[in-house]
Structure 1
Amino acid sequence: MTIAEAMAFHTEAFRAAALWIGLSLLLVLALSLRISAGRRRLKVSVGDGGHAELLATTRAFGNAVEYVPLALVALAVLAVFYSAPVIHAVGGAFFLGRILHAWGMGQQKQPALGRMLGMGLTYIPFLAAAGLLIFAAVS
């Protein structure tokens, strides 16, 4: 691989990572704004005020904040070793999982299908990223 080919390879991989990182940041912001809107509407200053809807919204945000940072770090490091299609597969599956989970958390009947599918689409990319990173480190 020439230097020009290597630069193009890495540029595309980092662009792919940038897409999923940017979308994930917007998702976290949207989840945060949902909490703020719910608190204003329900006149709750701190916490959930005993409102199940606000508790679910807060947990959807909290769950995203628990998983998203590690996924974003993994995507950035994966982009050093792997091509854009790999980054898109891992990032896209993870992002879809986070959307489904947040949507599922807002459903009345729990556990909701979206929530369960969302967690699956969070765990699978996490495992894939872990395996790919370990493989890159030892090969």
Structure 2
Amino acid sequence: MVSALYVVLGALLLIKLSFDVVRLRMQYRVAYGDGGFYELQTAIRVHGNAVEYIPIAAILLVIMEMNGAEVWMVHLCGLLLMAGRLVHYYGLRN
């Protein structure tokens, strides 16, 4: 099952983004919200955006594969998903 690769990559990316938020919360000693720190605001937004898009895209990849899509099409969509999430992360962080 090819889509499982992208589900796992998406999960790993979400874990990494979660750790970024936790690290910044500990660094700035902020338990709730963003404390007005731009870096924390950005990390929260990057993580939130990934949480909004990765699960539905992963479900669509699985459905696509279950409906008999060609393997290269699943890889193409999965790679585009991961590339889009990484470009979003890079764009907001820099």
The alignment's TM-score, normalised by the length of structure 2, stands at 0.95
Match of 2:42 in 1: 56
Q: How does 1:25-104 map to 2 (within 5 A)?
A: 25-80=11-66, 81-104=68-91
Gaps of 5+ in 2: none
Local SS of the residue matching 2:77: helix
The structure with more radius of gyration? 1
The alignment's TM-score, normalised by the length of structure 1, stands at 0.65
Instruction: Give the aligned CA root-mean-square deviation in angstroms.
Output: 0.8
For 2:90 and 2:69, how far apart are their aligned partners in 1? 31
Q: Deviations over 1:9-62 (max 9, x none)?
A: xxxxx2x20111100000011101100000111111111100011000000000
For 1:90 and 1:77, how far apart are their aligned partners in 2? 12
Runs of 4 or more off by more than 4 Å in structure 1? none
How many residue pairs get aligned? The number is 93
Share of identical aligned residues, percent?
33
Give the structure, 1 or 2, with the largest relative contact order (CA under 8 Å, sep 6 or more): 2
For 1:50 and 1:21, how far apart are their aligned partners in 2? 33
Gaps of 5+ in 1: 1-13, 108-139
What amino acid is the match of 1:20?
A: Y
What amino acid is the match of 2:48?
A: G
Q: Deviations over 1:51-89 (max 9, x none)?
A: 011000000000011111110000000111212111000
Q: How does 1:95-114 map to 2 (within 5 A)?
A: 95-107=82-94
